[in-house]
Amino acid sequence: MLKAYAAGLDELSSRGAAKAALSVLACASLLGVVFETNVLRTTALGASVLVNLGVLIVLSRQNAHLRREAAMNRDMRNFIYDTMRKQTQAQWRIDYWEENTIIAANGDAVGSVVIRAMVEREDMPLFRFCLGPKWDQPEKDRRRVRLTVDPGDGGAQWKRTLNWLPDGRLEVMTYLGSAPPKKGDELTFRVAFTWPGKAFPLMRDRGPDEFVTHMSRPLAHFSYTFTLPTDCKVGFSPIGLREGVHDFRLWSPTDSPHVVRLIARDMDADHKFGLRLDLK
């Protein structure tokens, strides 16, 4: 019976008749109040319960359908992104990466990244890079991330799409327009982001947080700068970097103990490195 009733409500909704049914229900309720008859009151109450139950059933069925569609679209999008990664994997080489992040007391962050890359194949259609912490952020925070990409010389923004990877990082695909760069060109990308909750484990959970990266090709220059609230005292340690083996410097300026900087040079391909921060 409930299945048949729900199907009927679906049909009414598709025809726009649900509004009419609700109007009838409202009139029945009004008559029960005005004429103070038990019959009308009982009828109105029963109709109200039945309509509410039916609406809940229909909404539940519609939400399940939307969830299935969302999962299917997500799987298709991941397949497309994976195909694009494989086809464009060796089209550029990142030589320079400079990232600056300002962290608020609640873990929100704003920042910028400057990337310089050498084009290694003709007609490169897009440029891909990844940002962000490697932890599973809540969906409500992910939806509020804002990010732009431009050439860094006052030029117009490039179109880009965002995709969240299973490890928690944000993948950015930047589309280079109708006249793709040629082999041997050097491109500059300036990224600006507003990222709610980016440093939540560090600032709210008060636990150590790791900031690690790696490139598929050798990297000539890399730098991280983290600026925390001025009343913070922060500890820091290198990850994947050893004195006498790697060319790097990790320090906090003596006059700014809330700032931490890392500079690394000539890093090997696929070598994971970075730093660990915690609050004292």
The number of domains in the chain is 2
Domain boundary among 85, 101, 118: 85
Dump pLDDT digits (tens) for 176-233: 888 888 899 999 999 999 999 999 999 988 889 999 999 989 999 999 999 999 999 8
Q: How many angstroms separate the Cα of 147 from the Cα of each of 80, 157, 171?
A: 21, 11, 11
CATH of residue 206's domain is 2.60.40.3140
pLDDT by residue (tens digit) across 17-63? 455 555 545 555 544 554 555 554 565 566 666 666 766 776 777 77
Query: What pLDDT does 166 receive?
Result: 85
- Helix (H), strand (E), coil (C) string for 253-264: CCCCCCEEEEEE
Q: What residues make up the domain containing 202?
A: 93-279
Residues 79 and 146 in one domain: no
Q: Are residues 238 and 271 in the same domain?
A: yes
| Residues forming a β-bridge with 148 | 192
The confidence score (pLDDT) of residue 17 equals: 46
pLDDT bin (cut points 50, 70, 90) of residue 86 is low
Is 145 in the same domain as 231? yes
Q: Do 223 and 99 contact (CB within 8 A), yes or no?
A: yes
Report pLDDT for 13: 47
Neighbours of 101 (CB within 10 A): 20
Domain end (from 64, 85, 106): 85
State the average pLDDT for the chain.
Answer: 81
Q: What was the pLDDT predicted at 111?
A: 96
53, 174: one domain? no
* Distance from C-alpha of 92 to C-alpha of 120, rounded to nearest angstrom: 5
Question: Phi and psi of 58, rounded to 5°?
Answer: -60, -45
Same domain, 242 and 107: yes
Last residue of a domain, one of 85, 106, 121: 85
- Cβ–Cβ under 8 Å, residues 176 and 246: no
Strand, helix or coil for residue 267: strand
> Residue 110's pLDDT band (boundaries 50, 70, 90)?
very high
The pLDDT value recorded for residue 2 is: 45
How far is the C-alpha of 89 from the C-alpha of 128, rounded, in Å? 9
